[in-house]
A = this chain, B = another copy of it.
Amino acid sequence: MRLLIDMDDVLADTGAKILDVFNQRNGLQLEKSFFEDKHFYEYIKGHNSYRDALYEPGFFRDIKVFPDAIDVVKELNEKFEVYIVSAATEFPLSLTEKMEWLDEHFPFISWRNRVFCGDKSIVHGDIMIDDHARNFENFSGRKILFHSMHNTQVQGYERVKSWREIRDLIGCAGKE
């Protein structure tokens, strides 16, 4: 079975860095939990944007790994054909940085199993773990939404909040 795992806001806590930039630019001190009952993209419309920071050199290089992500992906990699699939071509400088980041934290995922694309409808597999529901639209396999401050109001998908939950949910589903 082929398992497709997203990077930003699934393996990497990109949201934490984005929120830091957003807070700095707006003189705020919001925490992720603030968005548990709000539409993130609606809320930020009335504020200074963080978007251009994503195009700056180095933005994606030092993002923190989510707790347990390394251990659980290592386990799943024994059971599934794991591919890391990141919608990254919008940010050209991020590509080499993301390779370095994966080399540092997930060296057991070979370059053969890394995909950087724009529109994810081009990839296929059996299970997709992603934080953006738009990536599920043309995906025929099982869809698992990774909880994130920007998707708290999204409904209709199996949702996980941690890598431990993912282990419990699909840890035994590989090797089929």
Contacts and interface: CB of A to CB of B under 8 A. Distances in A.
A167 interface: no
A99 B95 contact: yes
Nearest to A114: B89
Q: Interface SS of chain A: helix, strand, loop or mixed?
A: mixed
A81 B110 CA distance: 29
A59 interface: no
A163 interface: no
**Number of copies of this chain in the oligomer?**
2
A21 interface: no
A72 to B, nearest CB: 21
Contacts of A123: 122-124
A96 interface: yes
Given A92-B96, A92-B99, A115-B116, 17 more contacts: A2-B122, A83-B122, A89-B99, A89-B112, A89-B114, A89-B115, A90-B111, A92-B100, A95-B95, A110-B118, A111-B118, A113-B119, A114-B117, A115-B115, A115-B118, A116-B117, A123-B124
Contacts of A113: 118-119
Interface string A92-107: 1101100110010000
